[in-house]
Amino acid sequence: YKKVTVKTLSDMKAHGEKISMLTAYDYTMATIVDGAGIDVILVGDSASNVMAGYQTTLPITLDQMIYHASSVVRGVNRALIVVDLPFGSYQSDPKEALRSAIRIMKESGAHSIKVEGGKEIKESIKRILNAGIPVMGHLGLTPQSIYKFGTFTVRAKEEEEARKLIQDALMLEKAGCFAIVLEKIPAKLAKEVAESVSIPVIGIGAGNGVDGQVLVLHDMIGMTKEFHPRFLRRYLNLYDDMTNALSQYVADVKSVDFPNENEQY
Ligand code: KIV
Ligand code: NA
């Protein structure tokens, strides 16, 4: 294998090779995701929903993100690992943002961080980049601001919000971010952004005119049951498959089919 770096991703965009990205939150899943050849692994704050069962990404803490990130790092040989700075760990001021980013880098061994937002957090992004830590931006539907939006519907459908999003993307590029995630915005706008910046733009619910795609792992393998947004393609139905397997185990234990002669000492 050849390790994926921020330079690799930039080369991929230059050559028109699409970037594949998925989330992972633990060691075992990370070994599978990395082994499958995924380019970028995101230790997303979606761990708050997927791992901890919260309704939003707001409750997860920096310590918890570091626990997830260090577990993923131990399972990965090739992929570039990006870790979300959680809500409350970077919004108050640039010094706090840098302190949080440094903790993630030192305590988990990950390769980069991601933050949500545009010009509101420009100084924090610059401060983190100045310390030599690669930063990925995230615009559009930014789940840490869900209480400001009030809904998880598509963002930037109106002219004014679309214009601000383009300005923010240009700012992120100029500041030195190595890539940008665009979440749940019109495909036409996402394509325009991808064509306007030289850094890779990775979409989720943002169409195929961008430079790569990201999905939440547990959604795309069908482990999460009640989540069916239009942008999600399910590659497995693990919720049902696991339920069937586990029910079979229950039946086998009850009927003393398990363990059999060969499964004992
Ligand atoms: O936390 C997450 O999973 C994310 C992706 C949806 C981009 O930020
Ligand atoms: Na996230």
Residue at 63 is within a domain: yes
Same domain, 228 and 241: no
Cα of 138 from ligand 1 centre, angstroms: 9
Distance CA 96, CA 17 (A): 36
Predicted local confidence at residue 127, as pLDDT:
98
Same domain, 165 and 194: yes
Tens of pLDDT along the chain (265 residues) come to: 799 999 999 999 999 999 999 999 999 999 999 999 999 999 999 999 999 999 999 999 999 999 999 999 999 999 999 999 999 999 999 999 999 999 999 999 999 999 999 999 999 999 999 999 999 999 999 999 999 999 999 999 999 999 999 999 999 999 999 999 999 999 999 999 999 999 999 999 999 999 999 999 999 999 998 889 999 999 999 999 999 999 999 999 999 999 999 999 9
Same domain, 12 and 98: yes
Q: Please count the structural domains in the chain.
A: 2
Each residue of 213-235: b (16+ CB within 10 Å) or e? Answer: bbbbbbbbbbbbeeeeeebeebe
Same domain, 25 and 132: yes
- Cβ–ligand 1 distance for 44 under 6 Å, the answer yes
Same domain, 225 and 247: no
- Written as one letter, the residue type at 259 is P
Cα of 130 from ligand 1 centre, angstroms: 24
Residue at 1 is within a domain: no
Residue range(s) defining the domain that contains residue 242: 237-265
Residue at 71 is within a domain: yes
Mode of pairing for the β-strands spanning 80-84 and 19-23? unpaired
Residue at 132 is within a domain: yes
Same domain, 113 and 136: yes
Q: What is the CATH number of the domain that holds 21?
A: 3.20.20.60
